[in-house]
Amino acid sequence: MTQLTICAVQHDIVWEDPLANFAQIEKLLTASQNSANLIILPEFFAVGFSPLMAGLADTASGTTLEWMKRLASIQGAVVAGSVPVLTAKGVVNRFYWVNKEGKTAWYDKLHLFSIGGENQHLVRGYSRTRIETDGWKFMPQVCYDLRFPVFARNEYNNGVYAYDVLIYTANWPASRTHHWRSLLIARAIENQCFVIGVNRTGTDGTGLIHQGNTMVIDFMGNILKEAIGIHPQTVEAVLDYESLDGWRKRFLVAEDWDKISLPGWNDFNLTC
C-alpha cells in the first residue's frame, strides 16, 4: 500500500464516562464519512486524564477494547488510542492498535507524567513498539513521550529504516501548545518520517483547558493537515510512501545518525 489514509479524531472527552465518549466518537466518524485505513483517538479517550485513572482501568479484555474491536470492524479500518489497563504488573497507559479483524497490538507508555501524578497511579512500560502493516512501519507513543527525542530516535541499517510514521496520542494542555507544535515538527524532521499528533480538546474534570491542535506532518516538517479551531472534529490526510522514500534517498541524513543504545523493539505485524 503506497498511500495510507488516516483519520485523527479530536474530541472533547466526557469526564469518566466511557459510554458517552464512545457515542461521541461514533457521531464524529459518521459525520465525517471518512474512508480511512487508520483511525486514531486521543490519550485516555474513554475517560479523560482523571486522578482516578487506576480505578477506571479496563482489564486486558475489557469494555473499551471490545468497543474498539467493534468500531474497527464497522469502519473497516485500524482503530488506535490509549486506555488505562489493569495488567499483571499493575495499571498501564496502553496504546491499543486494533485492526478490522480484531487483532491487537499495543505499547505501554514509558514516560509517565510525574508532574501530573501519573507515576503515582500507573506503572511504566519498558520497551518500544513497532507495528508493521501493508508495507508501513509505525511507532506509537503517548503524550509526555513527545518530550524525549532519544526514545523516538529512528534507526537506519543497510537501507532499512526502523519506522515510517510516529504517532502521538495526547491530552496536551493549551498552556503548552507551542511546545506541542514545535516538538511534533522536530520529531518529523529529525527522524525523516511522518508524524501524527492527536490531541483532545475542551476543559477536563480538573479545569485544565485543551485546544486540540491535532496535526499531520510530513517528513520535511510541513503540516499536511491541522484541526481548524478548538471544536471536536476529524482531521483526515493521505500519507504517500513514495514521497517519503524519495526524500530519504535524496537527503540521506540517516547515514550520519549518531549510533546510540536504545530499548529493544516489541514487534507486531498486522494488516490494516
Q: What is the pLDDT of residues 62-110, one digit of tens each?
A: 999 999 999 999 999 999 999 999 999 999 999 999 999 999 999 999 9
Q: Is the pLDDT of residue 130 over 70?
A: yes
The gap from C-alpha 110 to its chain's centroid, in whole angstroms, comes to: 14
Count of H-run helices and E-run strands, the chain:
5, 18
Q: Which residues are catalytic?
A: 43, 109, 143
Phi, psi of 99 (to 5 degrees): -90, 175
| CA neighbor of 58 nearest in space, from 118, 18, 98, 99 | 18
The answer to whether residues 135 and 162 touch, using CB atoms and an 8 Å cutoff, is no
Q: How many CB atoms lie within 10 A of CB 260?
A: 8
Quote the CATH superfamily of domain 3-269. Answer: Carbon-nitrogen hydrolase (3.60.110.10)
Q: What percent of the chain has pLDDT over 70?
A: 100
Q: What is the pLDDT of residues 139-192, one digit of tens each?
A: 999 999 999 999 999 999 999 999 999 999 999 999 999 999 999 999 999 999
Cα gap 221→206, rounded to integer Å: 33
SS3 state at 116: helix
H helices present in 87-161, as ranges: 118-121
Residue 58: per-residue pLDDT: 94
